[in-house]
Amino acid sequence: MSQPFPIRQECPPGACTCRREQVLGNPQADWRPLRLTREEEKRLIARLETIASLDDLRYMQERMHSLLGLEVSIAPSPHGVRTVRGILIEVTEQPGLCRKIRQSIPAAIRRAMEERPEIAYALLDAEGLFGL
């Protein structure tokens, strides 16, 4: 089946659990995660690493959802937040989404928060941790 847009190359057998064949075999499946080629992934990671504010982070979450169908949840850990590692960042698993991407997106967001701690502070404040 030919696609009108480039799709991500297949991962080596046994290295990934993306269920790519499930998406390719179903014409009604959501193909958006497959649009994230390796080159596009590099661009996305570079953009996530340059996030400048919480508003910018929320904007990127919305763009990833609308363009790629990615659900990225970001919330403080229920066990407390002492460092950026205490902020839970998860990309929801879905057919066609490579395991590597599910790991690289949270890592890029954490690197951005480590570079600009004001993003983490704003996130914690928005979640009510600094409020009265």
* Domain residue ranges of the chain, discontinuous segments joined by +: 20-126
Give me the pLDDT at residue 130, please.
53
Average pLDDT, consecutive stretches of 10 residues, N- to C-terminus, the chain (132 residues): 65 71 75 84 95 95 92 81 78 84 92 92 76 44
Number of C-alpha atoms within 13 angstroms, CB side, residue 104? 16
Contact by Cβ (8 Å): 47, 105: no
Pairwise CA distance, residues 20 & 34, whole Å: 8
Query: Helices 99-115 & 117-126, crossing angle to 10 degrees?
Result: 100
For the CA atoms of 41, 122, 58, 69, the dihedral, rounded to the nearest 10 degrees, stands at 60
Pairwise CA distance, residues 97 & 101, whole Å: 7
Assessment of whether the complete model's pTM goes beyond 0.85: no
